Amino acid sequence: MPPGAALPELPTHLPARDRRNELRHELHHAVHERVARHQHGWHGADLLLHRGALGHRLLPAGLAVRPHLAGEGRRGRARRAEPLPPCRILLGADQGRLYCLLPPVHPAHLGMAAEQHGGGDAAVSIGKIWPVLRSDECLRLRRSDRRQPAHRVHHRPLSQRLPHGPALDRHLCRGRDDPDDPRDPGLAGPWRTRQLRAAPAIDPLTPSTTTLMSTPYSAYSFSPSGDRLELRDPFLLRSADSDLWNDRLYLQIDHRGQVLTSGWLSPDFTPYSQPLRTFYLRDNETGEIWSVPQGPIRSKPDEFLFSAGKSDILWTVTIAGIRCIIRVVVPVHDPVELWTVEVQNISARPRSISVFSYLPIGKPSWLRNNTRYEPEWHGVVFDFFPYYVDYRDYEKLSHGSNTIFAASDRSPDGWMSCIADFVGHGTPGQPDALTQETLPPADRWADAESEAAAILQFNKALAPTETDRIQFVFGPAANPESARETARKYLVPGGIDAALAEAAARYADYPPALEISTPDAEFDAFINHWLPRRSLMLARAMRFMSAPQGRNLLQDSMAGGLIDPVSSRKWFLKFYAFQKQDGWLPHGMPLEPGATQLRINTVPHKDINSWGPEALTYYLHETGDHSILDEQVSFSDAPDKTDTLYHHVCRGLDWLLTDRTARGLCRIGQGDWNDPLNMAGHDEKGESIWLSEALAFALDTWAPVCASRGDASLAASYRGEAEALRASINQLAWDGEWYARGFTDAGRPFGSSRDEEGRIFLNAQSWAIISGTATPDRARQCIDSVEKHLATPSGPMMLAPAYTRMRTDIGKLSQKCPGRLENGSVYSHAVTFYAYALYLARRPADAFRTLRMLLSGADTNPVTRSGQLPLYIPNSYFGLPAGAKAGQSTRSANTGTAAWYYRAAVDCLFGLRSEADGLRIDPQLPPGWQKVRVLRRWRGSTFDVTIERQAGVSSMRTVMDGTELSDHLVPPQVSGSRHTVTVTLPLA
């Protein structure tokens, strides 16, 4: 379908359903024909879909289109008004994809906006919106030469929009005064509409009592303190999840009781259950059954609440006059789940209710499986022996943890363990066993083909307002004796309540480095509670890997310096003991005896030594603990030899400097940070521009540490090598508008404008800025190119265009699904690199916009699109090439994103950056923020910081305890002291 080709109108005489089918065919045809700017030279929105009085039509962009309003007839005749359904609005095509607003957008809302802001013209204009393949209505656009900032359309009535003004709008929506600005291809040309009226400013120090999210009907909210998130609509998301953890066990579970991940370190991360936790309830008078949480029986509740806390998860479900409150806690010390089930009769008549636990274990082995009931602790014990092939594994496995159990605090009225017998001829939603008054007697033994569950029945007669409570302990154990002791510990009266109190108190032992109060209460909740919680988990449990990847360990330990420096110190010393004498470090390292290396961890990726200098320097600045550098650490190839940690880091840098090509660039080998670039340099000729940038940054970071220890010549050498790297990168890798990602073994550049696929990579641009490689002009071009080619509503993609076919000089990356993971997703870890780079480039509006988009629930990234609550930032969101999945979260909660997000917020956004000699004050607030308050904890002292913009101020002014600091550097203070800091900024 070339530019300018006539677009066929759909026949108006067809029934609506046939017109929709033909329209759908037309849309698919447009996509398959790749109606795209890069192919045909079209700019901005190329097609608009119109459903009007004459039916559906595809129209070229630039034509005014009127939506089909309820009062219009086919020939203008009035007809009875009817409610307009929520609609999807097709906006146009860009790079082979059709862009559309997603529900719930109601055309009436758009009409109201037009009425309020100038009559007939729509008061909104279009930014990048997620692609879909279906549409029902179209927004009327106006072609105009007015050049005013553009505003994004939001997924709710304008009356519910967050406060905004011109400055905040430029920050959030990337509005441009230049109509041909290359940073926003979706708005190229003369497409502009009126600017929306600014809402009143709010006092940043008086947050509202409830934080309403960017979702329809305010279906969920944070608590006033921000430490809980409550979901009230069970049908808002398919799977709204949260997680619980201690140092040995991890549980990620959603509002329906579906388990996304569960396992414990033994020593490897080992699953102990099937992906479901539920409790069936039965009305013994009517025979009605339902389940709490809401799966597998999805009855519509009279009341529903999913409340995710930092130390527990709670469900409240009311059906048929019975309120059921379920809570799960993971205690601090033991790898088990603690469940409490409360059943309350809120009806006016007596009720006979049965509760059935359903805690599925599954089939952990193809060998012996023994299930039995233990009357001593009123539960089920499941013994098994893991499957093995090599006879030499028997001894090791015989001493392993081969027990799973579920215990309760009272004797059940019935029990069974075989899932197949429980379901019978029914389904998990209608199990046969629940049609019997009492569960049938269970067999003691189950063979290897049977899947097991802890199914316990409890009968209870409830008077009106009466409540009954049952408690359970569920999880793995080393052996039945250990299971017995654990059950006794928590099933005593008050045992689980005490465990919850201890789990909640744990966070008081690890106060976050930063607490904030800003105009964005959702962001406050994330920074104050959920980001430090994630960072603490990663720093302590190492993503629940007993043999973690080195780069992950180092970056997670960097964040640990902000919340748990003791753990970070431990990991630094353990990590460098895997280094060889020549400085080489492996990708992965088994930190615990008996740990199994993942296959990917055995691949010799080149980047591991580049992360240590930055992570360790960050730890030094944050804690002031320079004694760690003098700790003696051994070598993996010479355990009897040791050297200081300081010299281990130097050996790693020297190894990287040696492992370069004749052109002075780092070799890429079988991959760097981007693991699946595994065929670009397997002959040891390929070069990594990103790793060369990262090495320059590492050298610059470590040089001052060398100088502080009297190694002035080494510091000068490292600085000189960094300059040489930057010169080589600028000479060899600058592609005209961005930096290439690297060179293959054959010397061919990739991530270059000469490529059809994989033309631009995000990391090469971010780290060109971070490393100081890019000049100010080139940094601007890099940012413009990222915004032009990679931008999406949840952040920039890893690369574009995504690979669609195998490239044997790139590798596994090109085989991944387009828009997935490294092949064109919004890879959160890389996006935080980019946000950090934007701050270094002094682009605070763009930097905060990037950070904010990553957090699900932002206006551009609503939970109804991402499918995830804003409790964590996922590993990635699907990118534009993923089509209908674009923008959806992968819901992988454990990622290096947390460390860099935390660092960007502390060091750059609020500008309270630790340095060797003090706390550097250098805030970069977004333009819409006039005043914020921050509590910063640093080296044992607490600083109460107020940052405020004021009229008449020409430059930043910093005052601590009444004394002005002209250098904006707060020197270290006496541990335990508290200080007041006031920072005054010019108006934005």
* pLDDT at res. 106: 35
323 or 154, higher pLDDT = 323
pLDDT at 485: 97
Whether the ω angle into residue 267 lies within 30 degrees of 0, i.e. cis, is yes
- Measured CA to CA, the distance from residue 939 to residue 918 in angstroms comes to 10
Confidence of residue 448 (pLDDT cuts 50, 70, 90): low
Residue 46 has pLDDT above 80, yes or no: no
Instruction: Please tell me the predicted confidence (pLDDT) of residue 73.
Output: 38
- Is-contact 659 698, C-beta < 8 A? no
* pLDDT for the residue 592: 87
What value does the mean pLDDT take over residues 798-817? 98
pLDDT confidence of residue 444: 56
Contact 404, 379 (CB under 8 A): no
Look up residue 602 and give its DSSP letter: G
Answer yes or no: is pLDDT of 64 > 70.
no
Sorted by sequence, the CB contacts under 8 Å of residue 647 that are 6+ apart come out as none
Which residues touch 432 (CB under 8 Å, ≥6 apart)?
A: 422, 423, 424, 425, 426
Tell me what pLDDT residue 11 has: 38
How far apart (Å, rounded) are the C-alpha atoms in residues 331 and 498? 9
Average pLDDT value for residue range 613-629:
98
pLDDT at 408: 98
> For residue 67, is pLDDT > 70?
no
Strand partners, 282: 289, 354
Least confident of 125-134, 226-235, 916-925, 948-957: 125-134
DSSP code for 268: S
pTM higher than 0.85 for the full model? no
Res 283 pLDDT > 90: yes
Query: With 70 as the cut, is the pLDDT of residue 9 above it?
Result: no
Helix, strand or coil, per DSSP, at residue 630: helix
What confidence tens digit (pLDDT) does each residue in 98-153 have?
444 333 333 333 333 333 333 333 323 333 333 333 233 333 222 233 333 333 33
The type of residue at 261 is T
What is residue 941's predicted lDDT score, i.e. its pLDDT?
A: 98
Parallel, antiparallel or unpaired: strands 228-231 and 303-309: antiparallel
| Pair type for strands 303-309 and 978-986 | unpaired
Return the percentage of the chain with pLDDT > 70, whole number: 77
Query: pLDDT per residue over 495-521, tens digit each?
Result: 999 999 999 999 999 999 999 999 999
Residues with catalytic roles: 675
What is the DSSP-derived secondary structure letter of residue 159? Answer: G
Please compute the mean of the pLDDT values over residues 924-939 and round it to a whole number. 98
Task: Report the b/e string of 922-956 with b at 16+ CB within 10 A.
Answer: bbbbbbbbbbbebbbbbbebebebbbbbeeeeeee
Which pair of tokens denotes residue 639?
């355990």
In the chain the domains, ranked by start, together with CATH numbers, are 16-187 (no CATH), 227-508 (2.70.98.40), 910-986 (2.60.420.10)
- DSSP 8-state secondary structure symbol assigned to residue 405: E
H or E segment and range at residue 767: helix 762-770
Q: Which two tokens stand for residue 661?
A: 């090509």
Q: For residues 672 and 603, what is the distance between their CA atoms, to the nearest angstrom?
A: 10
Percent of the chain with pLDDT strictly greater than 90 = 71
Mean pLDDT of the region 15-40: 39
pLDDT at 405 exceeding the cut of 70: yes
Sorting pLDDT into bands at 50, 70 and 90, what band is 365?
confident
Q: In this predicted structure, what is the pLDDT of residue 394?
A: 83
603-612 tens-digit pLDDT: 999 999 999 9
d(CA 51, CA 66): 8
Closest CA to 241 of 221, 261, 227, 270: 261
HSE at residue 827, side-chain half, CA atoms within 13 A, is 21
pLDDT: is 761 or 109 the higher one?
761
Find, among 255, 211, 213, the residue nearest to 235 by Cα: 255
User: Residue range 186-205: average pLDDT?
Assistant: 28
Q: What's the mean pLDDT in 388-397?
A: 83
| Residue 388: pLDDT band with limits 50, 70, 90 | confident
What pLDDT score does 16 carry?
43
What are 835's two structure tokens? 């946000």
Residue 363: what pLDDT? 84
| Region 549-576 average pLDDT | 97
Cα end-to-end distance, the chain, whole Å: 47
Q: What pLDDT shows up at residue 397? A: 78
Q: What is the mean pLDDT of the chain?
A: 82
Give the DSSP letter string of 223-238.
Answer: -TTSSEEEE--TTS-S
Q: What is the mean pLDDT of residues 735-750?
A: 98
